Chains A and B, each alone.
Chain A
């Protein structure tokens, strides 16, 4: 999940009877699975929730370039370098789609990016973890993109049309990245040296729990979920998606010949699902508050990029104006 905690500002769901005629018509449309489009009327809280969620999602794509950018200059072969460069390029593109989708709601991308740089807007907690070895590039592709896909596949049916359509395009590319990430790990586990195999297991040990945290707080601690579900912005709960992710990931983990750092992980015949241990929620909330291992560096890097580039953007604007004036004359 690239948007883990999104405030709806709504503490209690309204029943249809309590709604104004406009609100009721809107809710009935949602219930009938008719997509909401940019020019349609929508409750202000719906609009604001979506702006927060889509901007968090967009910010996550952009900040998410940094942990991978950390290794792009050190990728160990030409093939791996090319794959990583292509992936990073796709992520920048996903950021652009999402900021565009967000702007259909009347928000401004520069303003939302300024919120990111001042710490007022969030991005996915996962990108606050450092990438410490090449194996992390494989694990980020496999687990992090894998978790994102589980979430985004559902978002293809989200009630806001521009967001749903962005997800369709993004999911295609993400699935490709995920397979590449997994292939990095398979290569190291099947054809690599012992040192490489150790590198893979170590990367899984460090990124396993942070990946599970990508789905957000447990359902009992997700006060905003009820409204998001009623508006069909969210289609499934955090815990449902997290369970699906674990269930589909464990066979892949076994195929690698690796283990998860979770002594409680066990197939539950009765439920037909894997049981798994409790997430360190304290760590999760600390990371979201800005106290994770790389929060400061990530935000500082993005802020510096935009500040250092101010003269470039100013030049582009000035040049465009000169050209326009010349053409007009």
Chain B
């Protein structure tokens, strides 16, 4: 069971970390000053959550590695993040759509985990849930604004959906690890997560005048098993360069 739990903590931590890393790339490039603030604010929340999950994972691993080691010394085959969050930022529409898909999944995950029989998980999730409540409200509002804004913004959102929809397959499907963790009362309900995600997407897309595509189907890649798109390696090369180049350093 410990192995399952470690895997699960890495998945949660890695997704939050990589999503936060992508938001860092926006620094100085946002369409308005208010968005500079919001993008960095959301990113800050997520990297903070990643630290909490990875610290717990490091304790359970008990092999001398710290949360920083897990973040900065694992390679792309060892990362367990969702494929969605490692996708490039694209334009503001792609970024906000990715954020919305992630938030709409993250919210029910954390809602479930805040009831976990593992007190440590319940505590981290309850704190994160407050932050993600805000993330989801914000990203949902932006999808509405952009979907039901101008012709151009509507077209850009259609293009954004075409680009990232296939990666949502991981948000509505569970695997054996997640199923087992749910059965033992530690994990969130995969069924509820999938239903909640679909409902949120349907609602927001409806008011955004955007068409909901048919469910995405499984394809070769699997972030939770460490089989990533080509984007992750480059992202990690940038993110991990200092600890890799100066292995004995203290920062």
Contacts and interface: CB of A to CB of B under 8 A. Distances in A.
Interface of A: 62, 65-66, 68-69, 72-82, 85-86, 88-89, 92-93, 95-96, 99, 134, 184, 187-188, 191-193, 195-196, 301-302, 304-306, 308-316, 318-319, 322
| Chain B contact surface mostly | helix
Interface in B57-88: 67-68, 71-72
Interface in B98-127: none
B29 A301 contact: yes
Interface string B154-193: 0010000000000000000000000000000000000000
A309 B152 contact: no
A78 B150 contact: no
A306 B246 CA distance: 37
B241 A74 contact: yes
B6 interface: no
Nearest to A81: B47
A107 to B, nearest CB: 15
Contacts of B132: none
A131 to B, nearest CB: 12
28 contacts: A68-B27, A69-B28, A73-B21, A73-B25, A77-B72, A78-B67, A81-B24, A81-B47, A82-B44, A85-B43, A85-B47, A95-B33, A99-B33, A187-B251, A193-B246, A301-B29, A308-B29, A309-B30, A309-B31, A311-B150, A311-B152, A312-B32, A312-B92, A312-B146, A314-B150, A319-B144, A319-B148, A322-B148
A82 B51 contact: yes
Q: Is the interface of A mostly helix, strand, loop or mixed?
A: helix
Contacts of A69: 24, 27-28
B195 interface: no
Given A73-B24, A187-B250, A312-B92, A96 B34 contact: yes
B153 A308 contact: no
Contacts, number: 148
A75 to B, nearest CB: 8
Of listed A78, A93, A306, residue having the most chain B CB within 10 A: A78
A196 B33 contact: no
A193 to B, nearest CB: 5
Contacts of A184: 251
A120 B146 CA distance: 33
Given A65-B27, A65-B28, A73-B21, A188 B92 contact: no
B68 A74 contact: no
Nearest to A73: B24
Contacts of A62: 33, 36
A202 to B, nearest CB: 14
A309 B32 contact: yes
B28 A66 contact: yes
Contacts of B47: 78, 81-82, 85
A80 B251 contact: yes
B24 A72 contact: yes
A85 B246 contact: no
B44 A85 contact: yes
A308 B27 contact: no
